Structure 1
Amino acid sequence: MAARLGHTIKAVLLQVHSIVGLVVALLLALIALTGAVMSFEDEIVDGLNAGLMQVAPRRAPALMPDELVARLKAGQDLGKVSAVTLSSDPAATVHVRFARDEQGTRPTSLYVDPYDARVLGTPRGEEFFATVRRLHRWLLIPGDAKGWGRQITGVVALGLIVMLVSGLVLRWPRRASSAKMWLKPNLGLGGRGLHRSLHAVVGTWVLPVYLVMALTGLWYSFDWYKDGMVWLLSRPEVAAAKMQPRMSAKAPRASVSSEPAQPIGFDRAWMMFRREEGDRFSSALLTLPAGPGTVIRIRSWAKDMTLEATRDEFRIDAVTGQLVSAERYLDKTFGEKTIAAIYDIHRGAILGWPGKLAFMVAAGLMPLFAVTGVLLYLSRRRLRRPAQPPLGRLVPGE
């Protein structure tokens, strides 16, 4: 009875595994391959732009951000500056980013000399990786994060989790303690046997990586998932503060002032930040508010911090120069550091370059499972097809 029940459960799981795989295989392979392409984006972009990211240090002080922007825009229409990246290194250039125009297009960012605002060039590879990122996250569907692409990639991630769990149950061998049964493919087989061995064994190798990718990828697709993670891993007061901006964003339109936003600059916020941090930071990203507010967000990284997660975040009123909030990485709890590291965990960077390489290889293997999975499905269909009855011999005279 138990054996029959187990066989029935496995048969149902096989159907679920097959159907979900057939539905999401193509999109899953596409998302994984674009993720693999972006694995070493930072290193590639830095290498391509090494000549644009450094200038000869000078005795004269670097320009303040507002003066640099004013000189940059003098005599040329570059669009609205949305963010600048400044450094404590006197030889580092300033990276200037622009807001989207009325057509929704974002102008290419620029590397600028911090001493005279001379344009040094546009980042090589930026447009390519921006397109790959939009394909990876939103499938190039119009609306980007506000379109349907965000939810579709989330559904694909949920489908991957279903396939991983069902595949593990289906894969479970009788000798579960045998490493050979779990990890060694039988390359001596051919046809369906080889496809099944590759699909099952290589899938076992990469299952932990795929599970991490899927669980962290859901963070970028569903607000309910993000809110749940914040509630689970953050202190109550931190969770409430993080949810407040989203709640206020859903406020009625009537409560939002219709008056045009006052132009604000970076200088007051930059001076307050320098008073707080001194020269302890390595780089700082100053971002203007997207709406009519006056609070500038500054994300900074200490000189001994290299991961995206290890940043401090300040919010400073650009009009008064008052510090609104300060969120320092070292003050966070383990759960809050985990939330901050979602992106680094998602791409394996939390383990350094070996982790990024392992995640890249695992993502690059995704088409293998799509192909072998389809081949196994088709072979099962052929095996289940009833054989044609043999034609009887004709008797003379009939």
Structure 2
Amino acid sequence: MNRVGHSIKAVLVQVHSIAGLVLALLLALIALTGAIMSFEDEIVEHLNAGLMHVVPREKPALTPDELVAQLKAGQDVGQVSAVMLSSDPTAAVRVRFARDEQGTRPTSLYVDPYDARVLGSPRGEEFFVTVRRLHRWLLIPGDAKGWGRQITGIAALGLIVMLVSGLVLRWPRRATSVKMWLKPNLALSGRGLHRSLHAVIGTWVLPIYVVMTLTGLWYSFDWYKDGVAWLLARPEIAAAKMQPKMSAKAPRDAVRHEPTAAIGFDQAWTTLRREQGDRFSRALLTLPGGPGTVIRIRSWPKDSTLDTTRDEFRIDAITGQVVSAERYADKTFGEKIIANVLDIHRGAVLGWPGKLAFMIAAALMPLFSVTGVLLYLSRRKLRRPAQPALGRLVPGE
């Protein structure tokens, strides 16, 4: 390697080391919380198997507004913000609540769709909500509007720098040798073993980390999200997604409003059933958070295997008129990629094997933090100058 090559390698080593030392603990925390959430749906469903299902009855199920009214009459609950309904007559209704004056959101409830009897609160919900806030926003106040969102984004950018520099530094002389790329040398010890594990296992998980990072940036930076929308979506769709967002620094009086009148779910629910027929498996109806009468509805088809494969409607709660309809089947390939960002991020697009592979890769992040720090310390030790000699005795002294 010539002098220029040595200089470039020395710079890359410094960049890789500094980025790793600064971000090691943060990346390990983000990765471990992501690993915990990998099979959240399956865990929650297992924990709440007895609450999520009811015995079907001959009488028709209550309408959403009847269910909410009977629920409020039976006990003191918070303001209902959303209901999850199903076409399955054995499925319980999940009721979600708006944040209270302190900013906390009450735990959601499973309710019998036939008589509004409370079946219980979902087990594991608060735990996974906390883990998700730690993963996305580091529990920093403000959640998506706070600094945590930008910090995790900067960590993701730092990981890209480490992946690129690590790949260049890792590049072996025999680049076509599969053994050189993928087989760690477990016969080594000390620094040699640490370097082998760091480099080889890093090669195994590098493609997964690239996917995780590129999709994770979607949730951190608006400029990144707008760029992806411009690149993958049709111009009119991209323009709609890139509409200027309300400034986070706007006065509170300008962004906090109370609904002008109480609205219900029934009219929108009737319209959705007319639009979808019996093609949907479940639907989430969410009331507007501010003034207005437009209800957002997410509808999952019966053949859907992914949480992000869904249709989205906006329906006026008073008139029942469809304000907008965004059907998954009508999306282009690029728009489907955008719609499935979350399931790509966690490997769910590859089924449970993909989720398992992404979980293992995320759980391995602390290995790179530990081996990276050990390699840095050993490199500093090797560079430390030897102790100078005490001197030699001169004859006659």
Normalising by the residue count of structure 1, what TM-score does the alignment of the two structures yield? 0.96
* Structure 1 residues 185 and 255, CA gap change in structure 2 (3 angstroms): closer
Indicate the residue corresponding to 2:133 in structure 1: 134
Q: Distance in 1 between matches of 2:253 and 2:35?
A: 45
Residue 250 of structure 1, CA deviation: 9.2
Q: Distance in 1 between matches of 2:271 and 2:251?
A: 33
Q: Distance in 2 between matches of 1:389 and 1:246?
A: 64
Q: Distance in 2 between matches of 1:364 and 1:73?
A: 43
Indicate the residue corresponding to 2:45 in structure 1: 46
Indicate the residue corresponding to 1:268 in structure 2: 267
Aligned residue runs from structure 1 range 185-224, under 5 A = 185-224=184-223
Task: Tell me if structure 2 keeps the 8 A contact 1:234–1:335.
Answer: yes
Indicate the residue corresponding to 1:26 in structure 2: 25
Select between 102-111 and 73-82 the one with higher mean Cα deviation: 73-82
For residue 2 of structure 2, give the secondary structure of its aligned residue in structure 1: helix
Indicate the residue corresponding to 1:56 in structure 2: 55
Q: Distance in 2 between matches of 1:234 and 1:210?
A: 24
1:187 aligned partner, one-letter code: L
For residue 246 of structure 1, give the secondary structure of its aligned residue in structure 2: coil
Residue 81 of structure 1, CA deviation: 0.8
Q: Distance in 2 between matches of 1:293 and 1:158?
A: 38
Q: Which runs of 5+ in 1 are unaligned?
A: none
For residue 195 of structure 2, give the secondary structure of its aligned residue in structure 1: helix
For residue 131 of structure 1, give the secondary structure of its aligned residue in structure 2: helix
Indicate the residue corresponding to 1:331 in structure 2: 330
Select between 357-366 and 301-310 the one with higher mean Cα deviation: 301-310
Indicate the residue corresponding to 1:11 in structure 2: 10
Residue 256 of structure 1, CA deviation: 7.6
Residue 254 of structure 1, CA deviation: 8.8
Residue 246 of structure 1, CA deviation: 2.8
Task: Tell me if structure 2 keeps the 8 A contact 1:300–1:312.
Answer: yes
Indicate the residue corresponding to 2:124 in structure 1: 125
Indicate the residue corresponding to 1:110 in structure 2: 109
Residue 14 of structure 1, CA deviation: 0.6
Select between 305-314 and 198-207 the one with higher mean Cα deviation: 305-314
* Structure 1 residues 255 and 141, CA gap change in structure 2 (3 angstroms): closer
Aligned residue runs from structure 1 range 155-170, under 5 A = 155-170=154-169
Indicate the residue corresponding to 2:293 in structure 1: 294
Indicate the residue corresponding to 2:88 in structure 1: 89
Provide Cα deviations, 1:314-351, integer angstroms capped at 9, x if missing partner: 10011111000111111100000000010000000000
Task: Tell me if structure 2 keeps the 8 A contact 1:80–1:99.
Answer: yes
Task: Tell me if structure 2 keeps the 8 A contact 1:86–1:94.
Answer: yes
Q: What is the number of residues matched between the two proteins? A: 397
1:315 aligned partner, one-letter code: R
* Structure 1 residues 154 and 248, CA gap change in structure 2 (3 angstroms): closer
Residue 247 of structure 1, CA deviation: 6.0
Q: Distance in 1 between matches of 2:135 and 2:253?
A: 36
Residue 263 of structure 1, CA deviation: 1.1
Identity of aligned residues (%): 82
Residue 75 of structure 1, CA deviation: 4.6
Q: Distance in 1 between matches of 2:275 and 2:259?
A: 31
* Structure 1 residues 158 and 6, CA gap change in structure 2 (3 angstroms): same
Indicate the residue corresponding to 2:279 in structure 1: 280
Task: Tell me if structure 2 keeps the 8 A contact 1:217–1:346.
Answer: yes
For residue 74 of structure 1, give the secondary structure of its aligned residue in structure 2: helix
Residue 262 of structure 1, CA deviation: 1.4
For residue 24 of structure 2, give the secondary structure of its aligned residue in structure 1: helix
Indicate the residue corresponding to 2:342 in structure 1: 343
Indicate the residue corresponding to 2:352 in structure 1: 353
Q: Distance in 1 between matches of 2:248 and 2:166?
A: 41
1:241 pairs with 2:240 = yes
* Structure 1 residues 158 and 256, CA gap change in structure 2 (3 angstroms): closer
Q: Distance in 2 between matches of 1:365 and 1:257?
A: 43
Q: Distance in 2 between matches of 1:149 and 1:164?
A: 23
Q: Distance in 2 between matches of 1:262 and 1:322?
A: 18
For residue 97 of structure 1, give the secondary structure of its aligned residue in structure 2: strand
Residue 56 of structure 1, CA deviation: 0.5
Q: Distance in 2 between matches of 1:280 and 1:135?
A: 36
Task: Tell me if structure 1 keeps the 8 A contact 2:259–2:292.
Answer: no
1:33 aligned partner, one-letter code: L
Task: Tell me if structure 2 keeps the 8 A contact 1:286–1:297.
Answer: yes
Residue 78 of structure 1, CA deviation: 1.3
Aligned residue runs from structure 1 range 149-188, under 5 A = 149-188=148-187
Residue 390 of structure 1, CA deviation: 2.5
For residue 52 of structure 1, give the secondary structure of its aligned residue in structure 2: coil
2:306 aligned partner, one-letter code: L
Residue 99 of structure 1, CA deviation: 0.9
Q: Distance in 1 between matches of 2:9 and 2:154?
A: 24
Provide Cα deviations, 1:43-68, integer angstroms capped at 9, x if missing partner: 00000000101100001100000110
Residue 186 of structure 1, CA deviation: 0.3
1:124 aligned partner, one-letter code: R
Q: Which runs of 5+ in 2 are unaligned?
A: none
Provide Cα deviations, 1:244-298, integer angstroms capped at 9, x if missing partner: 3736999998988977521111111000000101111000011111111211111
* Structure 1 residues 66 and 259, CA gap change in structure 2 (3 angstroms): closer
1:304 aligned partner, one-letter code: D
1:229 pairs with 2:244 = no
